[in-house]
A and B are shown apart, each in its own frame.
Chain A
Amino acid sequence: MSAHFADDCIPQIAPLFRLQWEEAQQAYVILYPEGMVKLNKTAGEILTRCDGKTRLSAIIDDLERQFSGAKIGDEIRHFMETAHEHGWVRITGAA
């Protein structure tokens, strides 16, 4: 049962999880009861933009600009599905 992410959906970090920058690990991490997942650079950049206000299309535009115009939209949508399966993000404002 994989979620389909419409580009106009608005993702945000789910209430059971916390996203934060860890200086000691030089990485973003997802924190939850008694556990932690260390995120790679792209995953961290995506999730920091899941603020419950920004549409997925805008997140993709923003990141493609940041990564010098590389076409990474599909990669981002794929990661969002993984993040959703883990329960890290929830979706609001989907059409």
Chain B
Amino acid sequence: MSTAGFESPARPKLLWLLAELTYACPLQCPYCSNPVDYARTKGELSTEDWLAVLRQARALGATQLGFSGGEPLVRRDLEILIREARSLGFYTNLITSGLGMDESRLKAFREAGLDHIQISFQASRKDLNDYLAGTEAFTHKVEMARAVKKHGYPMVLCFVTHRDNIDQIEAMLRLANDLNADYVELATTQYYGWAFHNRDRLLPSREQLERAEAIAHAYQESMKGRMKIFYVVPDYYENRPKACMNGWGAVFLCIAPDGTALPCHAARQLPGLEFPNVRDHGIEWIWNESSAFNCYRGFEWMREPCRSCPERFKDFGGCRCQAYMLTGDAANADPVCDLSPHHDRVLAAIGRAAHRDEKPVVFRNTKNSRLLGLAK
């Protein structure tokens, strides 16, 4: 309720809707951001459910829409969703592994109004790519990347980097250039979901990162005007946290395959929060009124050192999920920050990874998900 003369602070405006259409995926990447116990999730939203989500989110002002997963191409109704999204005025992004794509679908999506396709690569060469993906994927990805450009889409190629592939960053950039990518994302693995489980095995060394960064910056210069290169800095090696999601409930809304509404892909693991489902509530209520979306909004929830920190307006205290995973409490400062009393936990993780213990990575698949679900 507002009283004359007093206005409640402006509500944050929803801009980004991420539609995780399914957890099904033909790939088994060990750094997947999906929850490790995804196999427990039952009951995907129907086509009608998704259409309602799209309409409501757009009415609230969301502009960017990502179709993601799992592998969104698994959904046979993707073309219907694209068509509706485009006619509502969304800028539609398809975030895919390329598996499940063929030329006739590319053409149909184009006609339905799909704006952009992002294809992920696991590495720059077939043997390593297919090892990390857990399946034959590289050759088809290359073919599909060529087809994406042939059909006139803007194309982003995304390479998720970690200890086993980051030394080949130059070959990744050359591959992206050969495939005429418009944008390349060199995304250092973020340690959530499966990546967190495999962190000691995936975290690169500081030397590896410095080498990769120098190469990325040199290519950024030499490719100027032809191919845009985004280099995502790994936060474990930083002294200040990332402005995760631009703040909790600030611009971003993720809808999980079962309809759970989340302020980020990883938030589901946070205890004590009840995340609303689009089957029970409208997007407007979820965004504006639900306790889950208001819980870490703004600055009131903060403790020291964030509460009085001048940088809180810039980084919003970092990532709530990382704070929870590393300190046990989501309201603590993100321990990436060297002002956090828990910063030593990030340093300890770096130390553990430096031992290069060669225990095998756990691949993201349903069998492993069931196993990890049992341990929870």
Contacts and interface: CB of A to CB of B under 8 A. Distances in A.
Interface of A: 1, 15-16, 18, 20, 22-25, 29, 31-36, 87
Interface residues of B, number: 19
B328 interface: no
B55 to A, nearest CB: 14
The 4 A-B pairs of least Cβ separation, nearest first, read A24-B61, A31-B91, A33-B116, A16-B154
Q: Which of A20, A24, A36, A87 has the most CB of B within 10 A?
A: A24
Given A24-B13, A33-B154, A36-B15, A18 B64 contact: no
Interface in B98-124: 115-116, 118
Contacts of B63: 22, 29, 31, 36
Nearest to B16: A34
Contacts, number: 44
Interface of B: 13, 15, 60-61, 63-64, 66, 89, 91, 93, 115-116, 118, 152, 154, 156, 182-183, 225
Secondary structure of the B side of the interface?
A: loop
B64 A25 contact: no
16 contacts: A15-B152, A18-B91, A18-B115, A22-B61, A24-B13, A31-B91, A32-B116, A33-B115, A33-B118, A34-B64, A34-B93, A34-B116, A35-B64, A36-B64, A36-B91, A87-B225
A4 to B, nearest CB: 16
Contacts of A22: 61, 63
Contacts of B15: 36
Contacts of A36: 15, 63-64, 91
Nearest to B15: A36
